[in-house]
Amino acid sequence: MFNILLLPGDGIGPEVVKEAVKILEFVFDRKGVIVDFHEELIGGCSIDKYGVPLRDEVVEKAKGSSAVFLGAVGGPKWDNLPVDKRPEAGLLKIRRELKLWANIRPIKVFKSLHHISPLKKDVIDGVDMVILRELTSDVYFGEPRGEFGDHAKNTMIYYKEEVERIAHLGFKIALSRKKKLVSVDKSNVLEVSAFWRKVVSEVSRNYPEVELTHIYVDAMSYYLILNPKRFDVVLCPNLFGDILSDEAGGIIGSLGLCPSASLGDELDKGKIFGLYEPVHGSAPDIAGKGIANPIATILSASLMLNYSFGMAEEAKLIEKAVEKVLEDGIRTPDIAEKKPKKKIRVVGTEEFGNCVLKKLQRLMNK
């Protein structure tokens, strides 16, 4: 028997998680897999109830589960708290405590959504890349840190083994794709980045079939807009990966389309533990309106089935169901074309989820 810990969080988190859970429940039921869902608080809602963004007992529950499924944390209500007391600190804590050092962020253009990209169709057509973001180190976790009277400080550190393990994974993913890896750094300015570049180059000797290119993060953010099709696997330190993945979301037209999987040491095993969450945040500007796009979260559920439950086929069917709903012209407002060439229907979060569920039911009952 499996159990999934749900952490819907704040803002649109609970709205989008609800839709993904509906899909998961159907899949597990249809396959006769017994899964127990357990819900807990993380982020601002946990601060309101318990005074902290993540309780240790929730970390323990997470450790005892088959997988963790998360919505988003944060919002204006908690924006004035010190950094280490904010909702976001809860998210960082769970990633670190669960040792989830590898964050996989696939960026793919949907055929029916070319027109929502701010870029021209021929630039965006066929974009399909994986941003592999290191998730438990870098300036996010470096010590010392804090505010000290007239100055404040964070420390950027990477240990060799941290760079090595994420680099190995990057090369392995590249081997299973187009055998091209781009590593992002700022080695012209930062010692940490020069070290990152050196270690990635050393690891590359184990993978002679993979073409490795190093690109500075400033230039990378430029090339990503200019010619995103050029990229296949993009290996990033924590901070740069955070920034570039939101940019990539903009390129394909909405953050509401970008899922993620956070994985750790079990990577070489079959069914592995992981935390799954959309790339986007709690979207306070649209929270409570019932219009958030649930695709990023539904696709995160698909990643969960693939990595943590060995259900690759069902994972693919979820992607296919989403594609079919989009082909039918169903849109949430963030992905609705201003001047649609075909008829579209703009719906809310829940109705979009229902449409995906219906398509999936049809696909799985064939």
Using CA atoms, how far residue 335 sits from 25, 47, 229, 322, in Å, is 26, 33, 21, 13
Residue whose structure tokens are 């066929």: 126
The least CB distance from residue 247 to ligand IPM, in Å, is 12
Nearer to Mn ion by Cβ, of 242 and 334: the residue is 242
Contact call for residue 91 and ligand IPM (CB under 6 A): yes
SS3 readout for 65-121:
CCEEEEEECCCHHHCCCCHHHCHHHHHHHHHHHCCCCEEEEEEECCHHHHHHCCCCH
| Residue in 31, 128, 246, 271 annotated catalytic | 246
- Judge whether 186 counts as a catalytic residue: yes
Write out the two tokens for 186.
């700022």
Contact call for residue 92 and ligand NAD (CB under 6 A): no
Nearer to ligand IPM by Cβ, of 14 and 207: the residue is 14
> Cα 90 vs. chain centroid, distance in angstroms?
16
Which of 266, 295, 281, 317 lies closest to 67, judged by CA?
266
CB contact set of 293 (below 8 Å; sequence gap of 6+):
16, 254, 256, 257, 332, 334, 335, 349, 352
Distance CA 268, CA 279 (A): 24
Distance CA 140, CA 116 (A): 33
- Judge whether 138 counts as a catalytic residue: no
DSSP state of 286: T
- Judge whether 218 counts as a catalytic residue: yes
* Beta strand pairing call for 102-108 and 261-263: antiparallel
| Residue in 22, 172, 186, 324 annotated catalytic | 186
- Judge whether 48 counts as a catalytic residue: no
Contact call for residue 74 and ligand NAD (CB under 6 A): yes
Q: What is the H or E stretch that residue 132 is in?
A: strand 128-134
Query: Residue from 41, 92, 181, 257 that binds ligand IPM (CB under 6 A)?
Result: 92
- Residue 282: name its binding partner from ligand IPM, ligand NAD, Mn ion, none (Cβ under 5 to 8 Å by kind): ligand NAD
Stretch that binds ligand IPM, among 60-68, 88-96, 106-114, 332-340 (CB under 6 A): 88-96
- Residue 322: name its binding partner from Mn ion, ligand IPM, ligand NAD, none (Cβ under 5 to 8 Å by kind): none
| Residue in 138, 232, 242, 334 annotated catalytic | 242
- Judge whether 320 counts as a catalytic residue: no
The least CB distance from residue 137 to ligand IPM, in Å, is 12
Angle at 278 between CA 119 and CA 357, to 5 degrees: 95
CA atoms within 13 A on the CB side of 21: 21
- Residue 92: name its binding partner from Mn ion, ligand IPM, ligand NAD, none (Cβ under 5 to 8 Å by kind): ligand IPM
User: Which 249-308 residues touch ligand IPM, going by CB under 6 A?
Assistant: 279, 281
Contact call for residue 292 and ligand NAD (CB under 6 A): yes
The least CB distance from residue 287 to ligand NAD, in Å, is 8
Interacting residues toward ligand IPM by CB under 6 A: 74, 88, 91-92, 242, 279, 281
Query: What amino acid positions are annotated as catalytic residues?
Result: 140, 186, 218, 242, 246
Interacting residues toward ligand NAD by CB under 6 A: 12, 16, 72-75, 88, 91, 254-256, 277, 280-286, 292-293, 296, 334
